Structure 1
Amino acid sequence: MSDPTPDPDRSVAPGRRRRMRSRRVLLIAMSLIGLLVVGVGVGAGVITSRLNGNIERIGDPFEALPNRPAVPTSAPDAIADSPGKPLNILVVGSDSRVSAGDPSQWAKGGQRTDAIMILHLPADRKSAYLMSIPRDSWVDIPGHGTAKVNAAFSYGGPALLIQTIEQLTQVRIDHLAISDFESFTSMTDALGGVQITVPVDTYRDGKLVAAAGTQLLDGAQALTYVRERYTLARGDFDRVQRQQNWMRAIFTRAASKGTLTSPTTLLPFLDTVTKSVAVDDGFTLGTMRSLAVSMRGVRAKDVTFFTVPVAGTGRSPDGRQSIVNLNRKAFDELMVAVANDKVAAYLADHSDDVDTLKAAVS
């Protein structure tokens, strides 16, 4: 099913049109994972105040963390969040963002994270890398022994999850952004749906939700597509790629509808986005704006989605849980590359070790 929405850039010269679209795609991508889209120039103070008021803040989850990885020394004089300093943002898709600012309200076993990703922005700001860590990865959680990585959020909220990821990767996390897939549903509906190629008929409770083929899906349909797991050939690995694919579809849809060039569509979309994400206190609107400006030269082709190296699935030591075993040798090599801001070189030499998002998704 094709989308008949006219292209608002059709009157622009083809070369310039491609550059404009690519720029907008990147800005939308950043908005979903860090609200960087606020930096496109919504200048009115009342609007900025409104959007800022929409954002849920989670305090400073970094304040009391012990034994953190060192700050990269490649550019010791660089200003934080500016070109010259690589940046790593932990992006979390949780069951719910309710009470994200009060970890004491978590109960053990509740509010586990459906998606855990690290967004790496190189110091030169010429590319971006979004890497998924499977939620069932078997890791050490400080103070709780070994468990699935998504349990860290349940046990101790944002601070413990950051501590777990930093201990696992030896990569310093600079900011945190938390959303949920219900919020992605709202974003999808705010765009009038997103175009996704569904490989097979998708059902929920015995009812057809989306037929096979390229479809314009509303938020509820896209959520069902993403939450499918047990009929997928590779189980949760394919589910992770569907999550990435949904994000990519939102980026593409936003660009094709000219969302960032029309105030009548931009403001409602930004309103939806800012109500959908919780961030650490240090991730201010000013920081987001500066970061967006520093990445204005990046094109859509420069954004890479992939899953970290894994060695397959297995069982927990007690045999009760299905888990994902990380390929620690390849994983550690990747994280050394992240810490040293050499992800591009790593991917060029180890393309077979990671599961890169391709045009077609199972």
Structure 2
Amino acid sequence: MENENNFDMDNVSEDEALANQEKNKKNKKKKKALIIILSIIGAILLLGIIALFCLNRYFDSMLSLISYDTGDENVSFDETVGDEDMESSIPEAPAPDELPPYEIIEGWYDGDSIAAAYEEEVLNILLIGADTLDGNHARSDTMILMSINPVKNRIVLTSFMRDSYIELPGRNYNRLNAAHAKGGPAYLIETLEYNFHIDIDNYAKVDFSSFKEAVDAIGGITLTVNDVNYNYFYDWDGIDGLSQSKATDGTHTVHLNGAEALSYARTRKGHRVENSDFGRTAHQRDFLSQFVNNCKGSSLSELDSLLKTLLPHVVTDIPQEDLKSYLLNALTYLSYDMDDARVPCAGSYENFTTNSGAQVLNINVPANEKYVKAVIYG
């Protein structure tokens, strides 16, 4: 009996030993698997950190190409750009037949007082196009307010006509583009905010001629143009690869190099109003919209070339950390819907000759204030 009990105890001990061995093997396998998983996660995190470091260094190198100017330090008014005499006989500008519904903008009105329109989620950056960035404030050739709305996934490009005859804060009446010549970007922003009661966050000034190289850096841009513009390009010596196809609506699809695209952006011909500044600003909005669209299909090397070409021609007051954030969100912004608008809006202006003989646009400022607020914030 005693031997049988010993025999059973021996069997139990062997079974337990085998079970413990099997358990130890499983535990070792689990530990090994855990180590492998943690190693993979660690490697991914390390690669992510390295990638972020490299990306941050890359952005820093790109941002170092930009010139920074707050726009409101040491502003000196250029008195060589004369104001017009205060116009006591400016006729009342016409009112447009239709304006956006009042309820869209009534939130910024309190009785007879008008507060500056402001929505935290909408980023307003004034794009200023000039043919020089040498520190001498020339009249701004292009003034486009870029409004980015991440809530509605929408970007609006609003052109302000340079011949708009409005009051310059603390001074007399003049063309809108004289504000930049007098006091630089800060005074131009002050003038727009003073007249239209909108909030402008920052500015970016670009030597417009630099877009020639920028367009070439992404392999050109594709535009849809009408017969007048098509013939203009077709007759131009050195035109490159114009399509001979013509759509049923009379438009042509053309692929333009940098020189051709810049010429299109500057010409007054062939868009809605023949030989007018309205045509030129419409071309500029078309150009910028299609430039952005063409960037969507560009390779990383093309985008790198684009940044290195364009950024040295940019002056801005946007802080570097904000700019870095915008660059990180660039792909998201490229997916947004893009709309365009113009101030003055249709039916809200008339041609006017000042006392000094200047040909300007007499605009209905209150009507255009409502219009631009609805376009940007509506």
Q: Separation in 1 of the partners of 2:189 and 2:212?
A: 26
Which residue pairs with 1:307 in the alignment?
342
TM-score, normalised with respect to structure 2? 0.63
Residue 85 of structure 1: how far off its partner (Å)? 3.4
- Higher helix residue share: 2
User: Are the counterparts in 2 of residues 125 and 295 from structure 1 also a CA contact under 8 Å?
Assistant: no
Which residue pairs with 1:318 in the alignment?
355
- Equivalent in 149, 167, 177 of residue 204 of structure 2: 177
Cα distance per residue 1:214-273 (max 9 Å; x no partner): 2221111111122212565341112111101111221222222x33xx3x3232222123
Aligned residues, how many? 273
Q: SS of 1:214's equivalent?
A: strand
Q: Separation in 2 of the partners of 1:254 and 1:146?
A: 40
Cα distance per residue 1:111-169 (max 9 Å; x no partner): 11111111223372532222111111111112441111011111111121111111111
For residues 203-282 of structure 1, the aligned pairs below 5 Å read 207-208=236-237, 210=239, 213-229=252-268, 233-234=273-274, 235-256=276-297, 258-259=298-299, 262=300, 264-280=301-317
Structure 1, gaps ≥5 residues long: 1-39, 75-83, 100-104, 344-362
Which residue pairs with 2:165 in the alignment?
138
Q: SS of 1:196's equivalent?
A: strand
Q: Separation in 2 of the partners of 1:254 and 1:188?
A: 9
Q: Residues 301 and 122 from structure 1, CA distance in 2 versus in 1: closer, same or farther, beyond 3 angstroms?
A: closer
Q: Residues 197 and 342 from structure 1, CA distance in 2 versus in 1: closer, same or farther, beyond 3 angstroms?
A: closer
User: Are the counterparts in 2 of residues 93 and 180 from structure 1 also a CA contact under 8 Å?
Assistant: yes
For residues 24-173 of structure 1, the aligned pairs below 5 Å read 43-61=54-72, 72=118, 84-99=120-135, 105-106=136-137, 111-122=138-149, 124=151, 126-173=153-200
Cα distance per residue 1:296-336 (max 9 Å; x no partner): 65664622111131524412322622222333343121244
User: Are the counterparts in 1 of residues 72 and 186 from structure 2 also a CA contact under 8 Å?
Assistant: yes
Q: Separation in 1 of the partners of 2:336 and 2:60?
A: 33
User: Are the counterparts in 1 of residues 215 and 257 from structure 2 also a CA contact under 8 Å?
Assistant: yes
User: Are the counterparts in 1 of residues 129 and 142 from structure 2 also a CA contact under 8 Å?
Assistant: yes
What's the % identity of the aligned pairs?
25
The one-letter code sitting in structure 1 at the alignment partner of 2:357 is: R
Which residue pairs with 2:80 in the alignment?
none
Over alpha carbons, which structure has the higher Rg?
Answer: 2
Which residue pairs with 1:202 in the alignment?
232
- Which piece of structure 1 moves more, 299-308 or 127-136? 299-308
Question: 1:342 aligned to 2:377?
Answer: yes
Structure 2, gaps ≥5 residues long: 1-50, 76-114, 245-251
User: Are the counterparts in 2 of residues 203 and 209 from structure 1 also a CA contact under 8 Å?
Assistant: no
Give 4+ residue runs of structure 1 displaced > 6 Å after superposition. Answer: none
Which residue pairs with 2:22 in the alignment?
none
Residue 178 of structure 1: how far off its partner (Å)? 0.7
